[in-house]
Chains A and B, each alone.
Chain A
Amino acid sequence: MLEKDQKFVPAFFKKKTWRAFAYHWAMLFLAPFGFTYAILTISLGASLLVTVIGLSVAAAMLMGARSWGRLQRALTGSLLDRHIDAPPRLVRRPGFMGFIRSGLGDASGWRALAHMLAGFATTLVASLLSITFLVAGLGCLTYWYWVQWLPLMQAKGGSWQRGTSIGSDIYAEGPTWNLVYAAVGVLFTFLLWPAINNGLARLQGSLAAGLLGPTEAQLRVKSLEERRSHTVQDADARLAQIERDLHDGTQAQLVAIAMKLGDARDRLAGEDIPENIKALLAGAQGTATDALNDLRGLASGIRPAVINDGLDTALESLVAAAPMPVSLTYSLASRPSPAIEAIAYFCAAELLNNAAKHSSGTRVTLKVATAGHGKQLVLSVLDDGVGGVDPAAGSGIEGLRARAANVDGTLEISSPRGGPTEITLRLPLS
């Protein structure tokens, strides 16, 4: 509705134009600060380059430059109606050197710095042009009024004239000139200024979008991450479906077979029939029961149904069936996604199994908690065994690590010779 109503309103009267004007002013005040920051970052970093301190200062200032990006994106978003996606969050590597490396290696920080430098120049040009055109336009438009305060000047012919001189000896005075000025004023104010003002704002917006948004590569990584996340969830859902189909189909059929064979044997128990027939029936029932047991193991290896009832329930059952004493502490307030629950469950199962088989320990502590302000699930398995776990020795640890990495999770091992062994799985909680 609004769009339609404003269609025939000159650009001068549109809100959009004045918000772009406000943007130019805001940039005029902000750009010097950004420029100073950028120069400071470069000169401090360069002058202290030989020392580690110089690198860390530069790293910290580059990380700080991201705030400039945030401010600029907010400004273009609110005043220019141009939404710029934020670049991916900085992943800070652990340790002091990690801090330096992640700061100096942050493309988004460097690009924000580039915007401070380039933006300073473009802002000067853009704001000054816009302001000049508007002031000139308004000046011409009101010429007829303020011309009366111009000083009197003597023309060559000796007459006293008031008004601006154009060329030699032509003075803009009188109604005709007032009209000419007014016409020029209208041209500047209502046609040229809005076009220049808005066009420059668009260019400024494009510069911000180009330097402060995500890059092609970052967008690609994001889309790949999204696709991978879909794949992981899809695979998990498919496994759950297979397990359900086995439960509703084959397992039920096998139970029915075993039940009917049992029924037949029970009815024939008192009858006078050859022993070998009875043995045949007993054998068939035994095979059906064995198949059922095998299938049960297979199905729970695919994806235990009990996970559907919550990771806590599933882990409790796992701990109950463990071959050694396990104390379980579970402190998640809400349920993770099904795929995360499944990964956490299978890791716990494998790690408990390893602890029982290889650690020679007597007790295991299994803890599930959150970290990083609830953004991370941390599952740790601690045993009091002999330690010395070698991930490369085919203990399945590498497989678990790969499984965790599928969702950007990590697996850390601390297992000095002589123990204790603590293995920590970290999975993101969205």
Chain B
Amino acid sequence: MRISIAEDSALLRAGLTELLTGRGHQVVAAVDNAEDLLASMATDVPDVVILDNRMPPTPTNEGIRAALALRTTHPGVGVLVLSQYVETRYASQLFAGQPSGTGYLLKDRVADVGSFIEALARIAAGETVLDPEVVRQLMSVSNRPAGLQMLTPREQSVLELMAQGRTNAGICAELFLSAGAVEKNITAIFSKLGLEPSGGDHRRVLAVLKYLEHA
């Protein structure tokens, strides 16, 4: 993959670059603020961009804002926002409207190198990656939209894993269910949330976004 990084901590910037190049990926830009990253997109367009959320100048949610800007200027480029804290407001801003090719993860997830690289690849391929912590918060009682109240606990855990970007096979393994049972649960979730059958995987994203709308 070709990757651009905006991260204000020099230590983490160097660490990420080393981690990615060590695994055969190419880091095309590594800068310490969002503006420079947006400028670098003019010359070299990567497959995926890694943004630290909190960078100078404010420093509050530069990453989210840069991600939203990139969505309009470079819709084909995947964007992963890393943050020390996950905030539901930021997540709903980030995923509002067009969620494909977007990810939002806690910073420490990079320590799990395998999953991290996999998440990057999924984002580059246009999928959505949500941090389990965000999902946990979104699933929390406060944010349950009407449709969600009707889900059984089993369906809820399936949805939770789905939101984290697991495949059906992954969900099977995690919950010790048969492929048929997972399929049945997912169909039930879609119908309870009022998601009409349309473009296959897209409905999975929509199911997750159902909460974000209510967050």
Among B16, B85, B87, B142: residue with most chain A CB under 10 A = B142
B-side contacts of A401, CB under 8 Å: none
CB–CB A316/B22 < 8 A: no
CB–CB B12/A256 < 8 A: yes
B60: Cβ under 8 A from any A Cβ: yes
CB–CB A324/B141 < 8 A: yes
Query: A259-B16, A261-B111 in contact; A320/B140 too (CB < 8 A)?
Result: yes
A272: Cβ under 8 A from any B Cβ: no
In the complex, what distance in Å separates the CA atom of A308 from the CA atom of B56? 13
Query: A255-B12, A288-B111, A317-B89 in contact; A296/B19 too (CB < 8 A)?
Result: no
B137: Cβ under 8 A from any A Cβ: yes
Map CB proximity to A onto B3-18 as digits: 1 under 8 Å, 0 otherwise.
0000011011001101
- Considering only residues 104-125 of chain B, those with a C-beta below 8 Å from chain A are 107-108, 110-114
Contact-residue bracket for chain B:
20 to 34
- Considering only residues 121-140 of chain A, those with a C-beta below 8 Å from chain B are none
B-side contacts of A323, CB under 8 Å: 140-141
Query: A263-B18, A266-B114 in contact; A256/B108 too (CB < 8 A)?
Result: no
A-side contacts of B84, CB under 8 Å: 247, 251, 296, 299, 305
CB–CB B107/A322 < 8 A: no
- Considering only residues 236-273 of chain A, those with a C-beta below 8 Å from chain B are 244, 247-248, 251-253, 255-256, 258-263, 265-267
Query: A263-B18, A309-B60, A320-B137 in contact; A289/B88 too (CB < 8 A)?
Result: no
CB–CB B89/A316 < 8 A: yes
A186: Cβ under 8 A from any B Cβ: no
CB–CB B85/A259 < 8 A: no
- Considering only residues 30-82 of chain B, those with a C-beta below 8 Å from chain A are 54, 58-61
In the complex, what distance in Å separates the CA atom of A82 from the CA atom of B93? 56
CB–CB B111/A259 < 8 A: yes
**Chain B residue at minimum C-beta to C-beta distance from A319:** B142
**Chain B residue at minimum C-beta to C-beta distance from A269:** B114
A-side contacts of B167, CB under 8 Å: none
CB–CB B15/A322 < 8 A: no
B138: Cβ under 8 A from any A Cβ: yes
CB–CB B138/A247 < 8 A: no
Question: Helix, strand, loop or mixed for chain B's interface?
Answer: helix
CB–CB A266/B113 < 8 A: yes
CB–CB B215/A320 < 8 A: yes
Chain B nearest CB, measured from A269 CB (Å): 8
B143: Cβ under 8 A from any A Cβ: yes
CB–CB B110/A255 < 8 A: yes
A72: Cβ under 8 A from any B Cβ: no
CB–CB A255/B60 < 8 A: no
> Which of A244, A256, A285, A296 is in CB contact (< 8 Å) with B85?
A296
A326: Cβ under 8 A from any B Cβ: yes
Map CB proximity to A onto B81-97 as digits: 1 under 8 Å, 0 otherwise.
00011011100000000
CB–CB B87/A306 < 8 A: yes
A300: Cβ under 8 A from any B Cβ: yes
B-side contacts of A262, CB under 8 Å: 110-113
Chain A nearest CB, measured from B44 CB (Å): 24
A304: Cβ under 8 A from any B Cβ: yes
Map CB proximity to B onto A55-82 as digits: 1 under 8 Å, 0 otherwise.
0000000000000000000000000000
B-side contacts of A299, CB under 8 Å: 84
CB–CB A259/B137 < 8 A: no
A313: Cβ under 8 A from any B Cβ: yes
**Chain B residue at minimum C-beta to C-beta distance from A364:** B142
A325: Cβ under 8 A from any B Cβ: yes
- Considering only residues 291-306 of chain A, those with a C-beta below 8 Å from chain B are 292-293, 296, 299-300, 304-306
CB–CB B140/A306 < 8 A: no
A321: Cβ under 8 A from any B Cβ: yes
Query: A263-B18, A296-B84, A306-B85 in contact; A320/B142 too (CB < 8 A)?
Result: yes
In the complex, what distance in Å separates the CA atom of A411 from the CA atom of B198? 53
B-side contacts of A322, CB under 8 Å: 140-142
A-side contacts of B107, CB under 8 Å: 251, 255
Chain A nearest CB, measured from B140 CB (Å): 6
In the complex, what distance in Å separates the CA atom of A316 from the CA atom of B11? 32
- The contact sample of 12 A-B pairs, CB cut-off 8 A, is A251-B107, A255-B12, A258-B111, A305-B84, A306-B89, A309-B61, A320-B88, A321-B140, A322-B140, A322-B141, A326-B142, A327-B142
